[in-house]
């Protein structure tokens, strides 16, 4: 039986509103077919293969060669049903496109792994293994049972429920998650377990696989294309029931989701910093709603917007106020004013480390700066060497010895002569994790030291190797940036030291206090997970409300201080924000475009109650040799305003072709 060709409308990952017409040709009696939702490969422009989503399929007269004056090209390949985007995933794709004002084609790459259909190769490298930390025969506490009972009722009723689970560090949140997931699996449903960082995935996956075996698998960008395809296809076939991973795992093709866990829901890494700039927490709630699933947002330091939603009754608030098997560690704040510390450690912290190591326990030191020194400064003229592409001082790194920009990765050799005054003496000012590690080696020569930061984790799997080695107690001290604060469970750690507790408080962002409190509370929570713990904050602002609240593990006190400030200034959670960023190589052109855009925004959005702030130079006014301006909108944009804004930006980029514009709804930072 001869089959007629099909006219296929395809959405492609390009910043254009149009769909694109292609022909799907079936030869002879072939059973091949194409349906709406299929993932296809098509030629586009000079590219021979672009992945797109089939939106509609219709009959095509065999003699038709053109549509709307364009010659029809053939669909090159239709991927199998495992890659089909239908049902709740298609609804989620349309929601993301609508909410973030994007063409649907730009959302499609979220829903498939790179190079679909790639076969996984067997890895020669054995994965580093964590010791299993899954308790055997554990009994839930009364507080945990209350949480589980609430989620179980929603599951039995097949009812969407959103829960804000506020549990102090070490309170057993993970055991609650696993118990609820187990109930979902018993009902024949699936589960998603989202984590903020790839580095957390192996440890969590170990616990989940101990509990659920091969029904569970991870998916994240650190895996090869073949590995990701294998997990994607197995999930689509129903062979995998629990998918674990960072924000990209949210789009796995599970068929009947009963539970979505968003662990450490406050973390900024759930927000994608490139198009599409979606927030996985928000998208998880949408996917949970469409599946009548239970969504659990868990954290010891909930995002203020999430907690506000719980206070307002939009989420059900549940608490785990006590640490399992012990107490929260005591925190001592060391006043560093007037105290010299050439090696970065106060006497209090140094003595505490001696005692801890002597007792055979482990230490974590947190310093949120990488490199050896923050700047390389001429002693004669005082000039700091700056990046030629960014208005930022270059950071001095010792191994290998170089000056490096942490924003554009520009690298230069360390000069012998000052380019400004020809001076020959330089001072490496400030510090970083590399310098701390070197100092520790001289202070504690018998100790085995590991460093965890961007420089030590460039190789695939290096996060996992370092953390697994520390978990197996193959090292005594772990020093690092904020990577060390993220939800790790190390039973041997009884001391945590924070070298600069007030480091983030001065950032020009309304969320600076919130981020600092979260980071300090989280890193403090790594101490004393299975016994008595101790934490030392070194601070030049020991009386700061954020430092004091974190030292007391007092989220309520922080909330009481911060929420009134947000309300007075009309910042989230009381008003929504939109950030518009403009950048280009010509300062005058970027500023002119920003002024034109701000005028259009005030004319069209201000009458509707939207406050337009700016334009103003961004905090980092030049990065990657591009000048940067930004405009902030305060207020809620309805669907019509969002679409108008998208068209406005399209017109602006057409008029100012050398200026790039980004549109960021609900930004997590405004610098």
Asked if residues 426 and 418 have their Cβ atoms less than 8 Å apart, the reply is yes
Q: Are strands 660-665 and 577-584 parallel, antiparallel or unpaired?
A: antiparallel
pLDDT at site 60: 87
CA-angle at 377, arms to 374 and 380, nearest 5°: 165
CA-angle at 536, arms to 535 and 540, nearest 5°: 150
Confidence of residue 337 (pLDDT cuts 50, 70, 90): confident
- pLDDT above 60 (res 2): no
Asked if residues 481 and 368 have their Cβ atoms less than 8 Å apart, the reply is yes
Phi/psi of residue 309, each to 5°?
A: -60, -35
% of the chain exceeding 90 in pLDDT: 72
Non-local CB neighbours of 31 within 8 Å, separated by 6+ positions: none
How far from the centroid of its chain's Cα atoms is residue 173's Cα? 20
pLDDT at site 198: 80
Q: How many angstroms separate the first and last alpha carbons of the chain?
A: 63
Strand partners, 456: none
Confidence of residue 133 (pLDDT cuts 50, 70, 90): low
pLDDT at site 63: 78
pLDDT at site 464: 82
Residue written as token pair 């997590």: 668
Lowest-confidence segment of 4-18, 63-77, 129-143, 227-241 by average pLDDT: 129-143
Confidence of residue 50 (pLDDT cuts 50, 70, 90): very high
* pLDDT 10s digits, 518-544: 999 999 988 887 778 999 999 999 999
Confidence of residue 572 (pLDDT cuts 50, 70, 90): very high
Q: Are strands 39-44 and 77-78 parallel, antiparallel or unpaired?
A: antiparallel
* pLDDT 10s digits, 390-433: 988 999 998 889 999 999 999 999 999 998 899 989 888 888 89
- pLDDT above 80 (res 132): no
Helix (H, G, I), strand (E, B) or coil at 459: coil
- pLDDT above 90 (res 309): yes
Ranked by mean pLDDT, the top range of 257-266, 319-328, 457-466 is 257-266
Residue written as token pair 């000069």: 415
- pLDDT above 60 (res 586): yes
% of the chain exceeding 70 in pLDDT: 96
Ranked by mean pLDDT, the top range of 54-58, 370-374, 488-492, 501-505 is 54-58
- pLDDT above 80 (res 55): yes
Give the mean model confidence (pLDDT) for residues 265-275. Answer: 94
Measured between alpha carbons, how far is 353 from 361 in angstroms, rounded to an integer? 9
Tally of residues, the chain: 671
Measured between alpha carbons, how far is 10 from 150 in angstroms, rounded to an integer? 43
Helix (H, G, I), strand (E, B) or coil at 201: helix
The structural domains of the chain, ordered by start, are: 6-111 (3.40.1440.60), 142-320 (3.40.50.300), 330-371+431-566 (3.40.50.300), 577-665 (3.30.70.600)
pLDDT at site 126: 42
Alpha-carbon dihedral of residues 146, 149, 154, 157, nearest 10 degrees? -150
Non-local CB neighbours of 355 within 8 Å, separated by 6+ positions: none
Q: Where is 642: in which H helix or E strand?
A: helix 639-655
Asked if residues 478 and 636 have their Cβ atoms less than 8 Å apart, the reply is no
Cα dihedral 153, 154, 155, 161 sign: negative
Residue 123 carries which DSSP code? Answer: P
Asked if residues 259 and 191 have their Cβ atoms less than 8 Å apart, the reply is yes
Residue 321 carries which DSSP code? Answer: -
CA separation, residue 183 to residues 176, 206, 480 (Å)? 11, 19, 38
Phi/psi of residue 439, each to 5°?
A: -65, -40
* pLDDT 10s digits, 57-91: 998 888 788 888 788 999 999 999 999 999 999 99
Asked if residues 82 and 255 have their Cβ atoms less than 8 Å apart, the reply is no
Strand order in the sheet with 534-539: 330-335, 534-539, 493-498, 362-366, 477-480, 449-452
CA separation, residue 537 to residues 326, 362, 432 (Å)? 21, 17, 17
In 419-524, the DSSP E strands lie at 426-429, 449-452, 477-480, 493-498
* pLDDT 10s digits, 343-357: 789 999 999 999 999
Confidence of residue 131 (pLDDT cuts 50, 70, 90): low
Give the mean model confidence (pLDDT) for residues 301-327. Answer: 93
* pLDDT 10s digits, 430-451: 888 999 999 999 999 999 999 9
Ranked by mean pLDDT, the top range of 112-126, 367-381, 655-669 is 655-669
Measured between alpha carbons, how far is 643 from 99 in angstroms, rounded to an integer? 10
Measured between alpha carbons, how far is 531 from 170 in angstroms, rounded to an integer? 11
Asked if residues 661 and 653 have their Cβ atoms less than 8 Å apart, the reply is yes
Asked if residues 390 and 498 have their Cβ atoms less than 8 Å apart, the reply is no
Helix (H, G, I), strand (E, B) or coil at 21: strand
Q: Where is 26: in which H helix or E strand?
A: none
pLDDT at site 125: 46
Instruction: Count Cβ atoms within 10 A of the Cβ of residue 225 and give its class: 0-12 exposed, 13-18 middle, 19 or more buried.
Output: middle
When comparing pLDDT for 530 and 452, which is higher? 452
pLDDT at site 134: 53
pLDDT at site 201: 76
In 389-543, the DSSP E strands lie at 395-397, 402-404, 411-412, 426-429, 449-452, 477-480, 493-498, 534-539
């Amino acid at each position: 039986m001869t089959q007629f060709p099909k006219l296929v409308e395809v959405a492609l990952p390009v910043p254009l509103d149009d769909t694109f017409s292609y022909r799907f040709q079936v030869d002879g009696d072939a059973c091949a077919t194409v349906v709406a939702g299929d993932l296809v490969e098509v030629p586009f422009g000079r590219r021979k293969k672009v992945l797109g989503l089939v939106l509609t399929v219709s009959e095509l007269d065999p003699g038709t060669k053109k549509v709307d004056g364009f010659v029809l090209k053939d669909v090159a390949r239709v991927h199998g049903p495992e890659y089909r985007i239908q049902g709740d995933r298609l609804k989620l794709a349309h929601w993301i496109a609508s909410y973030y004002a994007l063409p649907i084609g730009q959302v499609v790459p979220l829903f498939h792994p790179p190079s679909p259909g790639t076969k996984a190769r067997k890895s020669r490298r054995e994965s580093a293994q964590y010791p299993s930390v899954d308790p055997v025969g554990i009994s839930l506490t009364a507080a945990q049972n209350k949480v589980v009972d609430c989620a179980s009722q929603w599951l039995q009723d097949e009812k969407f429920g959103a829960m804000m689970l506020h549990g102090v560090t070490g309170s057993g949140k993970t055991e609650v998650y696993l118990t609820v997931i187990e109930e979902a699996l018993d009902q024949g449903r699936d589960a998603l377990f989202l984590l903020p960082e790839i580095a957390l995935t192996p440890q969590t996956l170990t616990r989940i696989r101990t509990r659920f075996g091969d029904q569970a698998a991870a998916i994240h960008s650190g895996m090869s294309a073949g590995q990701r395809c294998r997990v994607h296809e197995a999930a689509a076939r129903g062979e995998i029931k629990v998918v674990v991973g960072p924000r990209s795992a949210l789009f796995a093709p599970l068929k009947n989701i009963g539970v979505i866990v968003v662990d450490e829901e406050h973390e900024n890494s759930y927000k994608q910093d490139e198009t599409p700039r979606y927030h996985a927490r928000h998208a998880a709630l949408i996917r949970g709603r469409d599946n009548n699933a239970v969504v659990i947002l868990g954290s010891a330091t909930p995002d203020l917007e999430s907690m506000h939603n719980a206070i307002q009754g939009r989420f059900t608030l549940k608490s785990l106020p006590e640490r399992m098997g012990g107490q929260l560690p005591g925190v001592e704040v060391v006043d560093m004013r007037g105290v010299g510390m050439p090696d970065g450690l106060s006497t209090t912290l140094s003595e505490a480390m001696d005692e801890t190591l002597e007792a055979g326990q482990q230490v974590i030191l947190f310093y949120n700066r990488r490199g050896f020194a923050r700047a390389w400064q001429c002693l004669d003229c005082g000039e700091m060497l700056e990046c030629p592409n960014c208005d930022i001082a270059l950071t001095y790194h010792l191994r290998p010895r170089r000056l490096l920009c942490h924003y554009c990765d520009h690298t230069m050799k360390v000069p012998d002569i000052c380019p400004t005054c020809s001076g020959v003496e330089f001072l490496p000012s400030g510090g970083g994790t590399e310098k701390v590690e070197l100092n520790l080696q001289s202070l504690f020569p018998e100790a085995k030291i590991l460093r965890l930061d961007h420089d030590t984790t460039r190789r695939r799997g290096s996060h996992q190797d370092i953390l697994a080695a520390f978990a197996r107690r193959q090292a005594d001290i772990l020093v690092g940036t904020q990577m060390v604060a993220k939800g790790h469970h190390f039973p041997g750690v009884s001391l945590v030291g924070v070298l600069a507790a007030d480091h983030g408080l001065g950032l020009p962002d309304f969320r600076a206090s919130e981020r600092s409190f979260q980071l300090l509370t989280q890193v403090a929570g790594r101490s004393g997970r299975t016994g008595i713990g101790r934490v030392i904050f070194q601070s030049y602002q020991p009386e700061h409300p954020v430092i004091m609240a974190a030292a007391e593990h007092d989220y309520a006190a922080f909330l009481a201080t911060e929420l009134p400030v947000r309300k007075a200034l009309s910042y989230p959670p009381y008003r929504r924000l939109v950030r518009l960023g403009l950048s280009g190589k010509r300062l005058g052109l970027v500023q002119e475009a920003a002024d034109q855009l701000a005028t259009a925004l005030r004319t069209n959005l201000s009458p509707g109650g939207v406050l337009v702030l700016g334009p103003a130079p961004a905090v980092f006014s030049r990065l990657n040799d591009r000048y940067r301006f930004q405009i902030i909108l305060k207020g809620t944009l309805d669907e019509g305003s969002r679409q108008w804004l998208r068209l406005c930006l399209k017109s602006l980029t057409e008029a100012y072709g050398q200026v790039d514009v980004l549109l960021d709804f609900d930004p997590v930072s405004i610098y």
